[in-house]
Amino acid sequence: MHIDSRNLPDNSTIEGDVCIIGAGAAGISMALDWINTPYKVILLESGGFEYDDKVQDLYKGKTTGQKYFPLKSSRLSLFGGTTGHWAGMCSPFDNIDFLERDWVPNSGWPISRKDLDPFYARANEKLKLGPYNYNLDYWQKEVPNLNPFPLDENIVWHKMWQISPAWGFNGGLGKFYKEDIIKAKNIHLYTYATVVDIKANENVTSIDHVVVKNLSGKTQTVKAKHFILASGAIQNARLLLASNKQVPKGLGNENDLVGRYFMEHLEIQTAELWLFDPFPTDLFTFFFENPKLWCELAIAEKVQIENKILNGTAGLSPLSTARHTKPRIETWQDEDPRKSVDNMFKNWDEAAKLAENENKGAISRAFEFQTRIEQAPNPDSRVTLGTELDELGMPRADLHWALTELDKRSIRKVNQIIGQQIGRAGIGRVKLKEYLQDEKDNYTWPEGTNGGWHHMGTTRMSNDPKKGVVDANCQVHGLANLYVAGSGCYVTSGAPNPTLTLVALSLRLSDYVKNKLGS
């Protein structure tokens, strides 16, 4: 069922059993999980079904620290959320990502990879992926010519991704699930419904209602037994911090943790690989068809431990094209995401055309490594409230993106280890980019340092309220019926793209809330 909140009477009240705030990957996957249950689910989306620049403007904010994308254009406020930008890349986190690592400050989840495995399988279905199997051996039986490099798999292994057909270029999850949500009798989708405040009971032990506004000047109140924040890591933190009339620091922020530990995936050009001879494989072909798969070179767990580095992977792209491709941090600087998309694709087209004339001889066997690496948890990397208010009277979010010495040292070491294995295999040589060659320089970053638009942290998970905003079940500490869904709950960010894991974590939360309602 769909209701446009702009058409509702002003100051009306909406009631249900569960209120999900945000209809992106987390919110949609949970709403789908509640279809045909005996419960009334309220799904609130700030935007509509199509891009609306006035609604998108509510996402504007300031950035400081490491150069970042405009906050307005790094997310999308519409049904389907930022999956409208999504490249569809899915791979589960590794076992080591959940462990406490003595060289990674503030690491260690209260859950394990094994706890998420059954939910990963369900997330695969929600994201329209193939079987829940990410082993190269499996896919080699399904697809011809997936020949791996002859590397020591105990040191460098081949990590597989599946690419969802519900990626942004196909309209994202909004297009794929719009009809399912609208036709569901017990799912009540309200568009143009922006939550601007969360109201607790008198003792601030549970949530009584949320306040919803839209740009038509209407206000509604939503009451429910359980409330789930699913608006993304930046917006969830912003909403908790802005709900500060009853608690001056903001809800869930007694220990000054809301907004802290913002993490991104560093996605950065790091090295050149020159093969001695052409290597017969389709394994590293970008998003090859039927099925869409992708592979990157990854560092084994024991090697990460020995070298005390973060988890990272290196993907290959033809050097002839990569040399003409500008970093996304340069092409994606327009506040309007549509213009940034155009700028990015224009550069990609230009790079491809230039490469056609140059991809001859030795360079045809050359590749550039783009390393995707987790960001070390850093309390100084954070979301705070700015002084400027948006059109609905809510303080805008400010983002300070801060990197550490461990981030850069790990990027260098990941590429050195891969280069050593390539050399030992006798198939080629790897040359580090100049900014990585000085072993003593672990602080400076090149102009082309990208993030992946992967917003994580800000409401991190821990069973100790002094170390996290939510517990192992994603419930906000001290509030009996308020939860956070999505990658904001991540303790560490792993190497893979976050969508598969955030959907798995959201489905796990969905089961938890169902059990509470049924008890």
Reduce the secondary structure of 479-497 to three states and give it as a string. Answer: CCCEEECCHHHCCCCCCCC
User: Of 169 and 289, which is predicted with more confidence?
Assistant: 169
State yes or no: pLDDT of 286 exceeds 70. Answer: no
Q: Assign domain 1-129+165-265+376-403+453-519 to its CATH superfamily.
A: FAD/NAD(P)-binding domain (3.50.50.60)
Give the three-state DSSP class for 47: coil
Tell me what pLDDT residue 259 has.
98
322: nearest Cα among 350, 297, 299: 350
Q: Mean pLDDT over all residues of the chain?
A: 96
State yes or no: pLDDT of 508 exceeds 90. Answer: yes
State yes or no: pLDDT of 406 exceeds 90. Answer: yes
State yes or no: pLDDT of 265 exceeds 70. Answer: yes
Write down how long the chain is.
519
Give the three-state DSSP class for 336: coil
For the chain, how long is the longest CA-to-CA vector? 73
261 secondary structure, DSSP code: S
Q: Please compute the mean of the pLDDT values over residues 353-361 and round it to a whole number.
A: 88
Q: Please compute the mean of the pLDDT values over residues 487-512 and round it to a whole number.
A: 98
Q: Please compute the mean of the pLDDT values over residues 107-112 and round it to a whole number.
A: 98
Domain boundaries, the chain: 1-129+165-265+376-403+453-519, 134-163+266-373+404-444
State yes or no: pLDDT of 393 exceeds 60. Answer: yes
Give the three-state DSSP class for 183: helix
State yes or no: pLDDT of 56 exceeds 90. Answer: yes
CB 347 within 8 A of CB 325: yes
Quickly count: other Cβ atoms within 10 Å of residue 434's Cβ: 8
Tell me what pLDDT residue 289 has.
60
User: Of 241 and 358, which is predicted with more confidence?
Assistant: 241
State yes or no: pLDDT of 285 exceeds 90. Answer: no
State yes or no: pLDDT of 275 exceeds 90. Answer: yes
| Residue 358 confidence class, pLDDT cut points 50, 70, 90 | confident
Tell me what pLDDT residue 290 has.
56
| Residue 519 confidence class, pLDDT cut points 50, 70, 90 | low
CB 452 within 8 A of CB 497: yes
Please name the amino acid found at residue 254: E
Tell me what pLDDT residue 287 has.
56
Tell me what pLDDT residue 387 has.
96
* Each residue's pLDDT tens digit, 422-468: 999 999 999 999 999 999 999 999 999 999 999 999 999 999 999 99
Q: Please compute the mean of the pLDDT values over residues 226-238 and round it to a whole number.
A: 98
CB 88 within 8 A of CB 423: no
Q: In the structure encoding, which two tokens stand for residue 2, read together?
A: 């769909």
State yes or no: pLDDT of 288 exceeds 80. Answer: no
* Each residue's pLDDT tens digit, 361-386: 889 999 999 999 999 999 999 999 99
State yes or no: pLDDT of 405 exceeds 60. Answer: yes
| Residue 360 confidence class, pLDDT cut points 50, 70, 90 | confident
